[in-house]
């Protein structure tokens, strides 16, 4: 039976340290105890969508190591289908090194490991991609694999270009994307300019892409939906974040879940802003991903 959402993307073990402030270049800071938390943009989005009560499968790669086993079990425990979660022999599972400072902001360095071994042949071997209502993609896997998945998909294609690719993004990929979801920095990197200073400049940059719709996430300022030459700003709730890790991932998952339900992009973005905001009120990547009930409760209790 086809699943609602297929996520093609990364699985990482997050190594997280809380610090008073993120160190500058050349600076050493002392932090709290090291935490080992399941993460990776692909896995985060898959778990987030499953917690939002959608049927989800993931296509990805882990290493044949302890970290890979931990991530696989965690996905299973969260009701994510792992039939196409492949294992790479002799290659370590991806790792993210994350420092979270007192105001919830973070810095992240990713060692892709097995994620870099996910190939176009892997996605060709995964029939659920062509059967799903929504295919959700990111950029912690090779760009040629992202393109192959977009070409196979028959449903709605969402691409979250995070982290923004260093190489030139193939125009044929952007042609295949139905909903592009960058943050402001990723938008600037994709457009090759640093002019995303206000709503008008963001809309102007978005309109240079061939994607039919774009949603730009703006952190505490919410998001901007640009579709059919119209732009709508969706404000975020007034909250004090604990940890912003995975907020963007839960936002993307909420967009995917809403589109499965038949919502339009404005209603989808309104819900996604709520979900992303609620995610920042709990520490850790996947531990912070909320169910619909938890979204309302967390924002009520903020």
Query: What CATH homologous superfamily does 5-21+33-296 map to?
Result: Ribokinase (3.40.1190.20)
Q: What is the pLDDT along the chain (302 residues), one digit of tens a residue?
A: 789 999 999 999 999 999 999 989 999 999 999 999 999 999 999 999 999 999 999 999 999 999 999 999 999 999 999 999 999 999 999 999 999 898 888 888 999 999 999 999 999 999 999 999 999 999 999 999 999 999 999 999 999 999 887 777 888 999 999 999 999 989 988 888 777 778 888 888 888 888 889 999 999 999 999 988 789 999 999 999 998 889 999 999 999 999 999 999 999 999 999 999 999 999 888 989 999 999 999 999 88
pTM: 0.93
Catalytic residue among 33, 249, 264, 301: 249
Q: Are 272 and 254 in contact (CB under 8 A)?
A: yes
- Listed by start position, the domains of the chain span 5-21+33-296
**DSSP for residue 89:** T
Q: Look up 33 and say whether it is catalytic.
A: no
Q: Identify which of 110, 107, 80 has the alpha carbon closest to the alpha carbon of residue 94.
A: 110
* Cβ partners under 8 Å of residue 301, min gap 6: none
Torsion 150-60-118-246 (CA) sign:
positive
């Amino acid at each position: 039976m086809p699943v609602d959402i297929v996520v093609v993307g990364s699985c990482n073990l997050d190594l997280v340290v809380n610090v008073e402030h993120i160190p500058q270049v050349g600076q050493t800071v002392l932090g709290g105890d090291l935490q080992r938390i399941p993460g990776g943009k692909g896995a985060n989005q898959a778990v987030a969508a499953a917690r939002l009560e959608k049927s989800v499968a993931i296509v990805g790669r882990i290493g044949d190591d302890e970290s890979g086993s931990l991530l696989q079990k965690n996905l299973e425990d969260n009701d994510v289908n792992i039939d196409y979660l492949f294992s790479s022999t002799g290659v370590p599972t991806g790792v993210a090194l994350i420092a979270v400072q007192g105001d919830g902001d973070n810095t992240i360095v990713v060692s892709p490991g097995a994620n870099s071994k996910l190939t176009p042949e892997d996605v060709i071997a995964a029939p659920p991609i062509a059967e799903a209502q929504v295919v959700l993609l990111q950029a912690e896997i090779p760009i040629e694999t992202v393109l192959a998945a977009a070409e196979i998909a028959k449903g709605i294609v969402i691409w979250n270009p995070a982290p923004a690719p260093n190489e030139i993004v193939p125009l044929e990929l952007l042609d295949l994307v139905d909903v592009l979801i960058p943050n402001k920095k990723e938008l600037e990197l994709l457009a090759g300019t640093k002019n995303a200073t206000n709503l008008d400049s963001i809309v102007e940059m978005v309109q240079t892409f061939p994607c039919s719709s774009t949603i730009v996430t703006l952190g505490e300022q919410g998001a901007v939906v640009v579709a059919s030459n119209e732009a709508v700003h969706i404000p975020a709730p007034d909250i004090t974040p604990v940890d912003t890790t995975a907020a963007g991932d839960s936002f993307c998952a909420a967009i995917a879940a809403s589109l499965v339900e038949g919502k339009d992009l404005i209603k989808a973005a309104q819900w996604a802003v709520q979900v992303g905001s609620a995610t920042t009120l709990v520490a850790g990547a996947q531990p912070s991903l909320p169910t619909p009930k938890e979204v309302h409760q967390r924002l009520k209790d903020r």
